[in-house]
Structure 1
């Protein structure tokens, strides 16, 4: 038996994040836990030897895994291979709604971070909620070949 649907699917567009629209204006009580998460990202990886580098596009996903409560991000700071801070993505605490994902994209042509880049996140959430998920997808395509892999953040506090 086969089922089909003739309804047209609405086009789904992802808009770039308007960080200012996500600024959280609130105070936090003792039910909120603060934590840090470290996420390794690779803007470049070695190929064949240490003299040949492949540039990658990086998509960082900040995922609120709670179905009920908002996640708050106080810091998202990008460091390069040598530990030098190269970008701060937020200036004020932002909110991420239940089950929402916020993405940061680092273009392949930027080559920011090098082979050992990372992002440090500082976040708050009601202590009874699941830990948010911080992950990165790195990808590159050239001709008929493609390369992709993922990393997941680790809580460091």
Structure 2
């Protein structure tokens, strides 16, 4: 009888352990996609603003990757981070657009400008269950400033955890167009 009791306890421990290995992206897939502290500036009237400098930045991300022969893919969680590294001046984020592998716009993440104070960061999250971007997804980020500033650091961290396995990597943004008198 004692042997059966120990077997049942062992089975329960195994079940609880396996349940605890569920990926964080599975438990939080419905959370808000924009993370961080920032100020929203409502756009009224004309959408153009006077700016001295700015950039249009391309950032590759991977909402899924190939994992087995036969084109099977594995969903990944990607976090786009925009870091204002200027010590004294704010920047304005005017565009954060998410595109799929075919270059089709999936989502425009901001309608209003986001003002980032010096050393502030804002993140945009694509959860692991959202594989709409495919294996070649990307963001286009546009920022501007009314004064000379240091260019922000724009990068994406991509992760996935499943059981005892995990994968993570970082991709950096590339300036594809300079704006203003920069």
* Interval of TM-score (by shorter of Structure 1 and Structure 2): 0.7 to 0.9
1:89 aligns with 2:109: yes
CA distance in 1 between partners of 2:142 and 2:156 (Å) = 16
* TM-score, L = length of structure 2: 0.70
Residues 1:54 and 1:109: Cα distance change in structure 2 (over 3 Å): same
Residue number in structure 1 paired with 2:40: 22
Gaps of 5+ in 2: 1-31, 178-182
* TM-score, L = length of structure 1: 0.80
Residues 1:140 and 1:78: Cα distance change in structure 2 (over 3 Å): same
1:115 aligns with 2:115: no
Higher alpha-carbon Rg? 2
* Structure 2 residue corresponding to 1:66, chosen from 61, 70, 86: 86
In the alignment of these two chains, the number of paired residues is 142
CA distance in 1 between partners of 2:166 and 2:35 (Å) = 27
Residues 1:52 and 1:130: Cα distance change in structure 2 (over 3 Å): same
Superposition RMSD on alpha carbons, in Å? Answer: 2.5
Gaps of 5+ in 1: 1-14
Q: Deviations over 1:123-148 (max 9, x none)?
A: 10255321101110100011111000
Q: Deviations over 1:51-74 (max 9, x none)?
A: 121110011101101111101111
Specify the SS of the correspondent of 2:118: coil
Q: Deviations over 1:54-107 (max 9, x none)?
A: 110011101101111101111111100001101001112221111001011111
1:78 aligns with 2:98: yes
CA distance in 1 between partners of 2:104 and 2:154 (Å) = 21
- Greater helix share, 1 or 2? 2
CA distance in 1 between partners of 2:56 and 2:37 (Å) = 20
* Structure 2 residue corresponding to 1:143, chosen from 120, 143, 163: 163
- The 4+ residue runs of structure 1 with deviation greater than 3 A are 15-21, 24-30
